A = this chain, B = another copy of it.
């Protein structure tokens, strides 16, 4: 497998290890749909796509009706290499989160009502929202850790409408949303006014530093950043800039589909080093995203098995919780106009480079 990994790395310019190939083969042993294989293998979108294309060329995988299947040769390889599929053991009661929304059913029902008319995701801002259950699970998680009740909450980017769920819960003292999309800001304002929630929303692009009156004002921040290293540093750095001091918390999602573990490692080193915060939780697959309308338009169209509509919500992210251990943490207060927020070699949206213009 080492030689194959080296060949693929050379061909694609993306670092791919034999361990990556084995993860994709292991996923193939129990899944047929590209999106399911991507989810199960925990490898970036493009690593999975390139590996499957390579396997198909070698005759280890065949594509039929846009589905993928190991050939007898592929099955032999999997056996020889001793590759076994994962044994699914996630808790079904809490959808693997460890946090239950059972006691939050009233909030879930109210939240579903108020967001029924929400604005739909658009490609310009890398949008795509999580299920209502996920949004409420975020409230439950913050409440479980004492990070929302009686607290001031800053939400940076809010296509998930966490601010409204927080407001409806009656727990936070104040919620401030900074959001670049005017449609969302208007929607949040309308609902907040109608429901009399302590939620304010402002049109704001995070390439700019937080305005002075929002610095050091919050106990907790929550964001779901685009996943270039630059965007991660900016979004989390702005969140930290809003926090009061020691013992405050930040929450954000990070995917495996758009970020390699190499990128994860680099960002974790930055968090615990330069940023001087601690990671208290990384909850696998906590955030479940609703398949967004523009998915197939945004991804490569040179592979038939990619151009297939997913049958379940395959796109997940791990939920990170960070905490400030003292007052001496990084606050990102530089102007960052022109920073590459949305595109790198691993991010989904970048696969536009593989699209044939029609």
Contact = CB atoms under 8 A, between A and B. Distances in A.
Interface stretch (A118-126, A183-191, A277-285): A277-285
The 4 A-B residue pairs with the shortest CB-CB distance, nearest first, are: A19-B247, A91-B94, A93-B93, A98-B98
Interface residues on A, range: 35 or more
A283 B283 contact: yes
Contacts of A17: 246-247, 326
A144 B87 contact: yes
Given A17-B326, A278-B261, A89 B93 contact: no
A284 B273 contact: no
A249 B269 CA distance: 18
A86 B268 CA distance: 27
A72 interface: no
Contacts of A173: 82
Interface stretch (A145-153, A160-168, A222-230, A341-349): A145-153
Interface in A66-88: 82-88
A86 B144 contact: yes
Given A89-B103, A272-B272, A283-B283, 8 more contacts: A22-B247, A84-B146, A86-B143, A87-B143, A90-B98, A91-B91, A262-B326, A282-B283
Contacts of A93: 91-94, 100
Contacts of A311: none
A18 interface: yes
Given A97-B98, A280-B282, A282-B282, A246 B89 contact: no
A217 B226 CA distance: 38
Most B CB within 10 A of own CB, among A99, A276, A280, A318: A280
Contacts of A325: 260-262, 265
Interface in A1-37: 15, 17-20, 22-23, 26
A159 interface: no
Contacts of A246: 17-19
A100 B90 contact: yes
Contacts of A26: 146
Interface string A306-339: 0000000000001000010110000000000000
A355 interface: no
Contacts of A103: 87, 89
Contacts of A282: 279-283
A143 B89 contact: yes
A264 interface: yes
Contacts of A94: 91, 93-94, 98
A150 B272 contact: no
A140 interface: yes
Nearest to A41: B146
B90 A18 contact: no
10 contacts: A17-B246, A82-B173, A85-B146, A86-B143, A89-B143, A91-B93, A91-B100, A268-B278, A281-B282, A283-B283
Nearest to A145: B86
Contacts of A284: 98, 280-281, 283
